[in-house]
């Protein structure tokens, strides 16, 4: 895997109520990723950036909503979310990442 590509896979972590509940209950963390990322690339990127072991990766493609601005219709960008499940004993702390 190309290290430059892995550094560009992760856009941002999702810090929402739902993502926090899932993290506490199932040890899964949610991230926004680039739309053309594969599960293997996401797994390698998380392991490289956070120094943890990943058990599984689930991805969700979200279509952008149609929005009206005056008489014009527009569309928000499509997004891709990744839910990453960690091995037992592993943890990601977003405040300590370099």
Q: Which pLDDT band, with edges at 50, 70 and 90, does 96 fall under? A: low
pLDDT of residue 98: 55
Q: In whole numbers, what is the pLDDT of the chain averaged over residues?
A: 91
pLDDT of residue 93: 78
Nearest CA to 30 among 71, 79, 70, 66? 79
pLDDT of residue 79: 95
pLDDT (tens digit per residue) in 31-78: 999 999 999 999 999 999 999 999 999 999 999 999 999 999 999 999
Q: What is the 3-state secondary structure (H, E, C) of 38-95?
A: CHHHHHHHHHHHHCCCEEEEEEEEECCCEEEECCEEEECCCEEEEEEEECCCCCCCCC
The CATH homologous superfamily for domain 3-86 is: RRM (RNA recognition motif) domain (3.30.70.330)
pLDDT (tens digit per residue) in 2-31: 888 889 999 999 989 999 899 889 889 999
pLDDT of residue 97: 55
């Amino acid at each position: 895997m190309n290290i430059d590509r892995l550094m560009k896979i992760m856009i941002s972590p999702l810090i929402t109520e739902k993502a926090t509940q899932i993290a506490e209950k199932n040890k899964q963390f949610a991230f926004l990723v680039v739309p053309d990322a594969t599960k293997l690339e996401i797994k390698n990127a998380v392991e490289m950036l956070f120094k943890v072991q990943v058990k599984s990766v689930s991805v969700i493609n979200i279509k952008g909503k149609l929005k009206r601005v005056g008489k014009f219709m527009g569309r928000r960008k499509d997004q891709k979310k990744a839910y990453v499940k960690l091995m037992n004993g592993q943890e990601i702390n977003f405040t300590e990442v370099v």
